[in-house]
């Protein structure tokens, strides 16, 4: 038709630019544990260092400073029978930094967090338990560390570190 115009409505596509990150998985994180030495006399405390590194892709997890009271990092000592006799955070002698709010957030590739705790060789196996006034007896102990990456509980663990207590 002469003089007639045709109008076509075009709707621009809408793109979702927010791509959710995958949840962090335990194999993507390396947990390393070390003590300042292997043998300790009865009057020496055990200095334990733990480092966690994201060796995998960027993911969504918990990136809080290490604070056992926050439920993020755990360091334990077990006797030769495999019984946990001490847990960092359960012992009143263990001091952790303050706990910020814990929330899932992006953890970039290469992120590293670290923690140092001292085991004064007290016997204190779990949070809420009565801690013994006794020191751990002489013997061989296994120190382990773990890190709770997600609210779902992806928990990479360290290789064990063996220490000997003697007089």
Q: Is the pLDDT of residue 107 over 60?
A: yes
Q: Rounded to 5 degrees, what angle do the CA atoms 24, 29, 31 make? A: 140
- CATH number of the domain encompassing residue 74: 2.60.40.2550
- Domain presence at residue 78: yes
Q: Is the pLDDT of residue 13 over 50?
A: no
The per-residue b/e assignment along 144-156, b for 16 or more CB within 10 angstroms, e otherwise, is bbbbbbbeeebeb
Structure tokens at 53: 């590194």
The listed range with the strongest mean pLDDT (50-59, 81-90, 146-155, 158-167) is 158-167
Q: How many angstroms separate the CA atoms of 94 and 91, rounded?
A: 6
The reported pLDDT for the residue numbered 105 is 74
Domain, as residue range, for 147: 26-165
Predicted pLDDT of residue 139: 96
| Predicted model pTM | 0.75
pLDDT higher than threshold 80 for residue 149: no
Q: Give a yes or no: residue 12 inside a domain.
A: no
21-30, 61-70, 115-124: which is most confident: 115-124
Question: Would 5 be classed as within a structural domain?
Answer: no
Contact 122, 94 (CB under 8 A): no
Cβ count within 10 A of residue 16: 6
What's the rounded mean pLDDT across residues 12-23? 59
In the DSSP assignment, the letter for residue 130 is P
Averaged pLDDT of the chain? 76
pLDDT at 163: 97
**What does the pLDDT read at residue 22?**
82
Q: Which residue has the higher pLDDT, 14 or 38?
A: 38
**103's tokens:** 């929330």
Residues shown for the chain: 167
- The number of domains in the chain is 1
In a domain, 13, yes or no: no
pLDDT for residue 7 is more than 50 = no
More reliable by pLDDT, 154 or 26: 26
């Amino acid at each position: 038709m002469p003089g007639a115009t045709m109008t076509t409505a075009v709707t621009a596509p809408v793109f979702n630019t927010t791509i959710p990150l995958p949840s962090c998985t335990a194999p993507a994180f390396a947990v390393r544990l070390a003590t300042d030495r292997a043998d300790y006399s009865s009057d020496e405390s055990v200095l334990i260092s733990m480092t966690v590194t994201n060796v995998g892709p960027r993911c969504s997890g918990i990136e809080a400073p290490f604070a056992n009271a926050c439920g993020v990092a755990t360091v334990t000592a077990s006797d030769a029978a495999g019984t946990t006799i001490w847990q960092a955070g359960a012992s009143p002698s263990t001091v952790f930094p303050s706990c910020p709010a814990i929330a899932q957030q992006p953890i970039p590739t290469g992120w590293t967090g670290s923690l140092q705790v001292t085991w004064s060789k007290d016997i204190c196996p779990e949070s809420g338990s009565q801690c013994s006034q006794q020191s751990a007896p002489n013997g061989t102990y296994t120190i382990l560390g773990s890190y709770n990456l997600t609210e779902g509980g992806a928990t990479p663990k360290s290789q064990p570190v063996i220490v000997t207590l003697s007089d």
